Amino acid sequence: MNTFIIWLLALVQTALLVAIAPLFASWVKRIKCYLQNRRPPVLLQPYRDLRRLFAKKVVLADNASVIFRLAPYIVCGTTIMAAAVIPILIVQIPIASIADAIVLVGTFALGRFFLALAGLDVGTSFGGMGSSREMTIAALAEPAMLMVVFTLAMLASSSNLSTIVTYVLNQELVLRPSLLFALLALILVGIAETGRFPVDNPATHLELTMIHEAMILEYSGRHLALMELAAQLKFTIYAVLIANLFFPWGISQSLAPGALLLAVFSIAAKLTVLGAFLALSETTMAKMRLFRVPTFLAVAFTLSLLGMLSFIMLEGH
Amino acid sequence: MSESAVLVSIAIGSTLASCVFTLFADKYPSILKSVVFPLLALSGLTSMGACLLVLTGAPGFSGVLPIGLPWLFWHIHLDALAGFFLGIIGVITFSISLFAPGYIREYIHSDYSLVVLGLATGLFITGMQLVVIANDAFVFMVAWELMSVSSYFLVAYEHKESANRHAAFLYLLMAQIGALFILLGFGVLAAFAGDFAFESFRVTELTPFWAAVAFGLGLAGFGMKAGIVPLHIWLPEAHPVAPSHISALMSGVMLKVAVYGFIRLVFDLLGDLHWSWGIVLLIVGSVTALYGVLYALMQHDLKRLLAYHSVENIGIIYIGLGLSVIFFSAGQTTFGVLGLIAALYHTLNHALFKSLLFLGAGAVLSRGHERNLEHMGGLIHRMPWTALFFLIGCISISALPPFNGFVSEWLTFQTALQATMLESGVLRAVIPITAAMLALTGALAAACFVKVYGIAFLGQARSRRVRHAREASKGMVIAQGLLAGLCLLFGVLPTTTVAALNRIAYDLTGHRVAAATQQGWLWLTPVDPKVASYSAPLILLGVLIILAIWASIYLLSRRQRRIQPVPRKAPWDCGFGPLNPRMQYSATAFAMPIRHVFRSMMRLQEEKIREMDPHLLTRPVGLRYLFHAKDISWHYLYLPVERLLHAAARRVGRIQTGHLRHYLAYSFFTLVFLLWLIT
C-alpha cells in the first residue's frame, strides 16, 4: 500500500512540475517586464499559447523527414523523464533510483541530440546554425555540469539525487566552499543549458543571436507546443535542481500530509524567489556575443573544478 | 577435448578453409558468396559459441600443438578473457560475412583481385583468433605478425591510388615498430622466466625497474596498434582506405586485439601493479580521448572521421584501465575490478557500434559513391534502413541512454567517483580531472555525431550521385540491423553483461564486484544501491512509451490525414526566393564554433581562393574555401624525427665513398676488430 502511494505521489509531483512549468516561465517574464517598465502579459498567457498551438494544424517543411516529426515527442518525453527522477516534494522517491545524476545529464543529452538533428533536418541555414551553436554550448556546459554532479556525489558519497538531497538536508549548517562553488557553477550551466541571458535570448528571432529558436523555427502546431513545453520544463527542472540540491529545507522526508503541504509551499516559495533573482540578473545583463560564451562556460567549469578541488583538499575525510 | 576446444578449432579451421576456397575466386566469383563467406559466418558463430561457453562458466582449455620450433611447441589456452575477445572477433566476423557479399560486388569486374581480398581477410581473422588464444610469446608474435601483415595487404588493396599505397606503407612501418616493442617487452619477461610460455611469465617475479620497463614497452607496442596519441598517426590514414567491411574489422576488432594484448600483459603476466602506471594510463587515455574527438570533429571524410573516433574510444578504454590499475595498486580491489569491467564493457561496445558505423559508411559509399560528408545529404529518404541503423550507431557512440555506449561511460564515471577512497591527495585530484576530460569528450562526440548524421542523412542531397542512391542490399542491411540490435541489447541489459564480465575479472584478478548485480537484472548498482543505480530497462520503457504515444497519435490521425493531408510548404527562406541544397549548413560550418574554441590545440589550414575571369582579370567568377586540420603530432613529433633520421643517414652516408679501396679497408678493419673481440 505504502509503495503504491509513494509511486503515485512520485507521478503526481512530476505531473505538477509539468503543469507549473509554463507558469514559472511566465513568472520570470512578468518580473522582467516590471523591472523594464513594460506591461506584462497575464500570468496564464503561456497556457493560452500552448492551448492554441495544440489546437492548430501542423505544417511541415517540404524536406522534413521522420526525425523532424519524432523529435518533439522525444525532446518533450525525455524532459518529462528527467522531471520524474528528481526529488521535488519528497526526498526518497523510488523512481529516483532509475537514474542517478549522471543519467539525468544523459537524458537531457538524448533530448538535445534529437533537437539538434531536427534543426538540421529541414536543410535551411537557420536550423544548421542553431544546431551547431547548441551542440557547441552543450559540449562545453556538460563537463561543468558533470563536475558539479561529481562534487556533490563525492560529498554525499553517492550520485543518487535523493541521497545527495538527504545528505545536504541533514548536515549541520556550515559553509562549505565546495557547495558554494558548485552552486555558482550550476547556476551558470543552467543559464547556458536553458538558453537564457546572457547566452541566448528566448524572446528573439534575430538570426545573428538566436540558438534555441533557430532550431525550432520550422515547427508549428502541436510539434511547436511540445517543443515550447519541453523548453519551459527544462528551465523549471534546473530551477528545482538548484533549489532542492543546495537549499533543500522544507522538502518532505515522510508521507505525512502536513509535511507534504509544507514541501509544496516551500518549493513554490523557492521557485518564486529564484525566478525573481533570475529576472533581475537578466535585466542587468546584456546578451553576450556567441564567441564570448565559451569564456562564460570556462568560468562555470573553473568554478565547478574549484568546488571539486576544495572538497578534496579542504574537506575530504 | 572440451566443447570450447572443439568450437575454437572449428572457428579457426573454417577461416583457414575460407582462405583455401578463396583461391578460386577470380575464376568463379560466385564461390565467395556460396562458400567463402558462409565459412567465415560459421567461424564467427563458433567463436561466439566458445565465448558464451566460457563466460557462462564452462571450463576453457589449454593445449600444446605439435607445430612450431623443435624445442618450442605452440601453447594455446582459452580462458574467460580470451573467450571474451574471441567473442568480439566472432560477432564482427559474422556481421561482415553478411555484409561483404553485397559490398564486394563492385570489385568483381574491377582491376583488383578478389583472391587477394579473400585470402588476406581470412588470414587476418585467423591471425586475430590466434593472438587471443596464444599462450606463449612465440605464438603470440607469430599470430600478431600474421594479423599485421595480412591487414597491410587489405589496406593496400586498392593499390592504384598512390594515397592508399602511402597509407599502407605507413601502417606497415608503425605496425613493425610496435611489434618490435612488444617483442622487447616479452624479451624482458622471458629473460627473467627463462622460457617463452605465459605460464612461466606468470610465476616470475620481476624487479620493479624491469617490470616498469616491460610495462612501458607494452604500452608503446600495444598502444601503437591500438592507436594511442601520439602513436595513432597511421590509423586515420589506413582505416579509411581499406574496403569498408575491412575498416569495420580493423577498427572494431583489431584495435581490441591490441587492448587484449595490453590487458593480458599488465593484469595477467606482469604481476604487481604500480600506481604510477595507472597515472600514465589516465593521462594517455584522457589525452587520446580528447585529441581523437577534436580531430574527428574537423574531418569531413566520413571514414576518416570514424577512424579518429576509434582513437577517442581507445582513450576511454585506457582511462578505465588506468582507474583499475590505480585502485588495484591501492588495495581497493572492488573498484579496481569495476574499472576493469568498465574498460572491457567499453571494448565490447566500441567493437559493436564502430563496426556498425563503418558498415553504414560502407553502405553509403557503395550506393552513393561518396565518402565526403559535404557531398551527402538527405540519405534518410533514399536509404531508410541504413539511416535507422546508422542513427542507432550514432546514439550509441555519443554515450546516450539507453544504448550501450552510455553504460560503459557511466561505469567509468562511477569508478572515478570512488576516488575519495584513495589515500593520496594527488590521485584524488587527478582522477576527477580525468573524469571531466571524459565528460568533455562525450559531449564533443555527441556534437560530432549530430554533425555526421545531420549532414549526411538529413537535409537535402548535395550531389547528384547521393540524390539517386538506392537502399543497400538485403545482406548489408541485415548485418547493420544485427549490430544495431546488439547495441540496444547491451545497453538495456547491463546487469547481465556485468555479471559475465565479473567472471573475466575474477578469472584474471581473483576479485569481483558482488554488489553490481545483486538487485536483479533490472538494476545496475556498481557499488551499492544507495550510492548509485541505473535501470536501463526502465529508461527504455520510458522511451518506448514516448514512441508509443507518437505512434498512436500518428495512427489515430490517419483518417483525418486521408481527408486532409499534412500540408507541406517550403521552409522559411527570409523571402529571398527558393533555397537550394548548397545553401544548407555544411559539415565544416557546423564544426566551426568548436574549431574556434579549440583552435590553439590544432594546426588549421584555411585557404580562400578567389578565381578570376581569365578575360577580365578584375572580375571574380568564383570563390573557393579550402579547409584542412593537420594532425599536430606530425608537426611536433614525426617530422622532427624524420628530419633527424635523414640527417643521421646523410652523416652515415659519408662513409660510402664509392672507392673500392675504402670498402676493402672497412672489411679489413672489421675483420681485425672481430678477431680482437674473440681472442
Residues B354-381: pLDDT tens digits?
Answer: 999 999 999 999 998 889 999 998 899 9
Cα torsion B129, B135, B136, B137 to 10°: value is: 50
Work out the minimum CA distance from B649 to partner chain A, whole angstroms.
Answer: 47
B101-131 pLDDT, tens per residue? 999 888 888 888 888 999 999 999 999 999 9
Instruction: Kindly report the nearest CA distance between residue A289 and chain B, in angstroms.
Output: 12
Distance between CA atoms of A212 and A195, rounded to whole angstroms?
A: 7
Q: Mind telling me how many Å the CA of A52 is from chain B's nearest CA?
A: 18
Percentage helix, strand, coil for chain A under 3-state DSSP, each rounded to 5: 75, 0, 25
Q: Where are the alpha helices (DSSP H) in A36-160?
A: 45-55, 66-85, 101-121, 125-156
Q: CA nearest B262: which of B334, B194, B326, B314?
A: B314
Q: Does B335 touch chain A (CB under 8 A)?
A: no
Q: Over 80: is that where the pLDDT of A202 sits?
A: no
- What's residue B263's pLDDT? 94
A132 and B593 within 8 Å at the Cβ level: the answer is yes
CA distance A279 to chain B (A): 28
Q: How confident is the model at residue B27 (pLDDT cuts 50, 70, 90)?
A: confident
Query: Which tops the pLDDT comparison, B287 or B626?
Result: B287
Q: How confident is the model over B295-319, as pLDDT tens digits?
A: 999 998 999 999 999 999 999 999 9
In this complex, do A218 and B572 lie within 8 Å of one another by their Cβ atoms? yes
Query: Are B401 and A106 in contact (CB < 8 Å)?
Result: yes
Q: How far apart are CA A168 and CA A253, in angstroms?
A: 13
Interface contact B568, partner A, CB < 8 A: yes
A67 and B458 within 8 Å at the Cβ level: the answer is yes
Q: Do A142 and B439 touch (CB under 8 A)?
A: yes
- A99 and B535 within 8 Å at the Cβ level: the answer is yes
Half-sphere exposure of A254 (CA within 13 A, CB side): 4
- Please count the other Cβ atoms lying within 10 Å of the Cβ belonging to residue B171: 25
One-letter amino acid of B205: E
- The answer, for B315 touching chain A at a CB cutoff of 8 Å, is no
pLDDT of residue B340: 94
Q: For residue A105, what is the nearest residue in chain B, using CA coordinates?
A: B400
Of B428, B546, B596, the CB nearest to A74: B546
Q: Is the pLDDT of residue A316 over 70?
A: no
Q: Is the pLDDT of residue A136 over 60?
A: yes
Per-residue pLDDT band at A118 (split at 50, 70, 90): very high
Residue B512 has pLDDT above 70, yes or no: yes
Average pLDDT over residues A273-290: 89
pLDDT reading at A2 higher than 80: no
What is the pLDDT, as a whole number, of residue B32?
86
Q: How confident is the model at residue A317 (pLDDT cuts 50, 70, 90)?
A: low
- Contact B453/A117, CB-based, under 8 Å? yes
Kindly report, residue by residue over B431-476, the tens digit of the pLDDT: 888 998 999 999 999 999 999 999 999 999 999 998 888 898 999 9
Q: Do B569 and A127 touch (CB under 8 A)?
A: no
Write down the mean pLDDT value for chain A.
Answer: 89
- Which residues of chain A neighbour B425 with C-beta distances below 8 Å? 312-313, 316
Q: Which residues contact A61 (CB under 8 A, 6 or more apart)?
A: A68, A122, A124, A218, B568, B569, B570, B571
pLDDT score of B568:
87
pLDDT of residue B619: 82
A71 Cα to chain B: minimum distance (Å): 10
Cross-chain residue pair B533–A58, CB shorter than 8 Å: no
User: pLDDT at residue A59 above 80?
Assistant: yes
Instruction: Give B69-74 contacts, CB < 8 A, sequence gap 24+.
Output: B69/B138, B72/B136, B72/B138, B72/B196, B74/B134, B74/B136, B74/B138, B74/B139
Among partner residues B429, B447, B584, which is closest to A136 by beta-carbon distance?
Answer: B447
Three-state DSSP at B629 gives strand
Question: Strand pairing partners for B569?
Answer: A61
**CA atoms of A194 and A190, how far apart (whole Å):** 6
- Burial, B56: exposed, middle or buried (Cβ in 10 Å; 0-12, 13-18, 19+)? exposed
Q: Which of B436, B451, B593 is facing A146, going by the closest CB pair?
A: B436
Mutate to test the interface with A, among B572, B585, B596 (most CBs of A within 10 A): B585
Task: Check: CB of residue A263 under 8 Å from CB of residue A87.
Answer: no
| Contact in structure between B470 and B381 (CB atoms under 8 Å) | no
Please say if the pLDDT value at position B483 is more than 70.
yes
Choose among B411, B272, B404: nearest CA to B337: B411
B442 contacts in A (CB within 8 Å)? 142
Interacting residues of B491 by C-beta distance below 8 A, sequence separation 6+: B396, B401, B402, B403, B404, B405, B406, B407, B536, B540
**Which tens digits make up the pLDDT trace of B190-202?**
999 888 889 889 8
Which pLDDT band holds residue A207 (cuts at 50, 70, 90)? low
Collect all residues of chain B within an 8 Å Cβ-Cβ radius of residue A84: 542
| Chain B nearest-CA residue for A297 | B597
Comparison of pLDDT for B72 and B399, the residue scoring more: B399
**CB atoms A309 and B442 under 8 Å:** no
Reported as a pLDDT band with limits 50, 70 and 90, residue B481 is: very high
* Residue environment code for B571-608, b if the CB has 16+ CB neighbours within 10 A, otherwise e: beeeeeeebebeebbbbbbbbbbbbebbeeebeeeeee
pLDDT-based confidence at residue A1 (cuts at 50, 70, 90): low
Q: Using CA coordinates, name the residue in chain B closest to A72.
A: B550
Q: What percent of chain A has pLDDT over 70?
A: 98
Q: Which three cell numbers stand for residue A169?
A: 538536508
Disruptive mutation site among B546, B553, B563, B596 for chain A (greatest number of A CBs within 10 Å):
B546
**Contact criterion met (CB < 8 Å) for A132 and B381:** no
- C-alpha distances (whole Å) from A68 to each of A61, A62, A132, B390 are 9, 11, 17, 16
CB-based contacts of B71-77 (< 8 A; 24+ apart in sequence): B72/B136, B72/B138, B72/B196, B74/B134, B74/B136, B74/B138, B74/B139, B75/B134, B75/B135, B75/B136, B75/B139, B75/B197, B75/B198, B75/B199, B76/B130, B76/B133, B76/B134, B76/B135, B76/B139, B77/B133, B77/B134, B77/B135, B77/B198
Closest CA to B446 of A74, A243, A82, A112: A112
Q: Mean pLDDT across chain B, nearest whole number?
A: 90
Query: Residues of B numbered 493-512 whose beta carbons fall under 8 angstroms of chain A's beta carbons: which are they?
Result: none
Q: Average pLDDT in the A198-220 region?
A: 81
Distance, CA of B347 to CA of A224 (rounded, Å): 40
Residue among A60, A136, A142 minimizing CB distance to B594? A136
Round to whole Å and give the CA distance between A308 and A44.
41
Contact A121 B570 (CB under 8 A): no
pLDDT digits (tens, 9 = 90+) for B552-607: 988 888 888 888 888 888 888 888 878 888 888 899 999 999 998 888 888 888 88
Q: Do B446 and A139 touch (CB under 8 A)?
A: yes
Instruction: Tell whether B645 lies on the interface with A, counting CB pairs under 8 A.
Output: no
What does the pLDDT read at residue B630? 83
8 Å CB contact of B450 and A120:
yes
Report how many Cβ contacts below 8 Å link chain A to chain B.
Answer: 246
Determine contact: B400 vs chain A, CB below 8 A. Answer: yes
Segment B53-110, tens digit of pLDDT: 998 888 888 888 888 777 778 889 999 999 999 999 999 999 999 999 999 888 888 8
- Please report residues of B whose CB lies closer than 8 A to that of A291: 593, 596
Of all residues in chain B, the percent with pLDDT exceeding 90 is 56
Q: Which residue from A minimizes the CA distance to B572? A: A218
The per-residue pLDDT for A100 is 87
Q: Which residue of B has its CA nearest to A166?
A: B530
Which of A65, A81, A163 is facing B458, going by the closest CB pair?
A65
Q: How far is B206 from chain A (nearest CA, A)?
A: 35
A256 neighbors A233 (Cβ within 8 angstroms):
no
Give the pLDDT confidence score for residue A67 in this predicted structure.
93
Quickly list DSSP for B28-65.
Answer: -THHIIIIIHHHHHHHHHHHHHHHHHHHTT---EEEEE
CA distances from B91 to B37, B47, B60, B393, B478 (A): 14, 8, 19, 16, 13
* Region B422-434 average pLDDT: 84
Domain definitions of chain A by residue range: 2-315
Tell me, yes or no, if B360 comes closer than 8 A to chain A by beta carbon: no
Report, as an integer, the average pLDDT of A108-124: 93
The B residues from 509 to 528 touching A (CB cutoff 8 Å) are: 523
Question: By the CB < 8 Å criterion, does B569 face chain A?
Answer: yes
Question: How far off is chain B from A43, nearest CA to CA, in Å?
Answer: 30
Nearest to B439 among A74, A143, A316 (CB): A143
For chain B positions 417-436, those within 8 Å of chain A (CB to CB) are: 417, 419-420, 425, 428-429, 432-433, 435-436
For residues B502-531, give the mean pLDDT. Answer: 83
Instruction: Give the DSSP H or E segment for B625.
Output: strand B620-630
The arithmetic mean of pLDDT across residues B216-242, rounded, is 92
- CB contacts, 8 Å: B596 with chain A: 291
Interstrand relation of B72-78 and B568-569 (parallel, antiparallel or unpaired):
unpaired
Radius of gyration of chain A (CA): 19
Give the residue among B657, B579, B509, B597 at the shortest CA–CA distance from A140: B597
pLDDT value at A222 more than 60: yes
The minimum CA-CA distance between B338 and chain A, rounded to whole Å, is: 16
